[in-house]
Amino acid sequence: MSQEYPIGTPGIPWGEAEKSAWRATQNIKRSYREQVLDKIYALKTAFECRRYGALSYDPERYPLLALQSKSPQADKPWVLVTGGIHGYETSGVQGALQFLEQEAERYQADFNLMVVPCVSPWGYEVINRWNPLAIDPNRSFFEPSPAEESAALMALVASHGAPFLAHIDLHETTDTDETEFRPALAARDGKIIAPGEIPDGFYVVDDEAMPQPEFQRAIIEAVAKVTHIAPADKDGNIIGSPVVDHGVIRYPLKQLGLCASVTNAPYTCTTEVYPDSPQASDEQCNAAQVAAVCGALDFLKRIQG
């Protein structure tokens, strides 16, 4: 696949010239301010709005914002919801905002909430998986992080001062994973990557080091009321990983530097919606992300009694 990518020489990892050439192909396709910031500002009466940084590429254009419970209760656990770690994964961003707009209020009595709707605003505007340095923020949650998007979120979590019970990280798997992003990755790293298979439907990624099967099952059951769940492929896998339960696979989150490892919470989930499915609309994808968060919180309420 690296031979097919228009930038670079097959078998040779990119240098700065190739990264600059790649960056020159990126252009603004939508507005972070109009689609994300304006919605965040509209929620400031209901939630505390916290600016936890800004991207050096354009600090005025790309402030980093979180919304959290205005009056945290010392005896209630904290839950983190993140979206837009990969900027092209639209329903993660819009689903996080929709959860705040429509559902968050009914959970405020039981949880302290922190929601970061868009971790990678440059990626959101250009609709790309990487940041401008051709770095994947969702492989960069380690110290020292090479991605300032990841470093900023890590610093926010570290400064928070209270542990998190759960972290729900909202993602998408799209057709462009195979047509653009995996070929770009192969070209960047000078490797050959075999074609993969995009699963048709929603699935979740559990933590291999601390699996929570009942938690994941509750999320799947909630989402199944909104959209279809991805089946296993002919080898019993989803994106190359064994299916351990309906719509559930596991990754070593910390080892891979994934966002869902950032809090060390005992309950974590990476959601994956499939917006290119003929069976799902954009509205369904956003609703599926909301259902995933609500399913997680409803489960946590039950086990806490």
- Residue bearing tokens 């968060």: 293
Q: Please state, in angstroms and rounded to a whole number, the distance separating the CA atoms of residues 60 and 124.
A: 16
Q: DSSP state, 177?
A: I
Question: Could you tell me the sign of the dihedral formed by the alpha carbons of 161, 74, 264, 220, in that order?
Answer: negative
First to last CA, the chain: 51
Q: How far is residue 15's CA from residue 146's CA, in Å, rounded to a whole number? A: 16
What stretch of H or E contains 50? strand 48-54
Tokens for 263, please give them: 């809090």
CA dihedral 4, 8, 14, 17 (to 10 degrees): -150
In order along its 305 residues, the chain shows pLDDT tens digits of 334 799 999 999 999 999 999 999 999 999 999 999 999 999 999 999 999 999 999 999 999 999 999 999 999 999 999 999 999 999 999 999 999 999 999 999 999 999 999 999 999 999 999 999 999 999 999 999 999 999 999 999 999 999 999 999 999 999 999 999 999 999 999 998 888 899 999 999 999 999 999 999 999 999 999 999 999 999 999 999 999 999 999 999 999 999 999 999 999 999 999 999 999 999 999 999 999 999 999 999 999 87
Q: In sequence order, which residues have a C-beta less than 8 Å from that of residue 126 and are 6 or more positions away?
A: 26, 27, 28, 29, 87
Distance separating alpha carbons of residues 16 and 191, to the nearest angstrom = 17
- List the alpha helices (DSSP H) in the chain: 16-24, 32, 38-42, 90-102, 121-126, 148-160, 176, 182-189, 213-223, 253-256, 282-304
DSSP string over 238-257: ETTEE--BTTEEEE-HHHHT
Q: Could you give the CA distance from residue 224 to residue 5 in angstroms, rounded to a whole number? A: 37
Name the pTM for this structure.
0.97
Q: Which two tokens stand for residue 166?
A: 């759960």
What is the predicted pLDDT for the residue at 4?
76
Cα separation, 296 vs 44, whole angstroms? 24
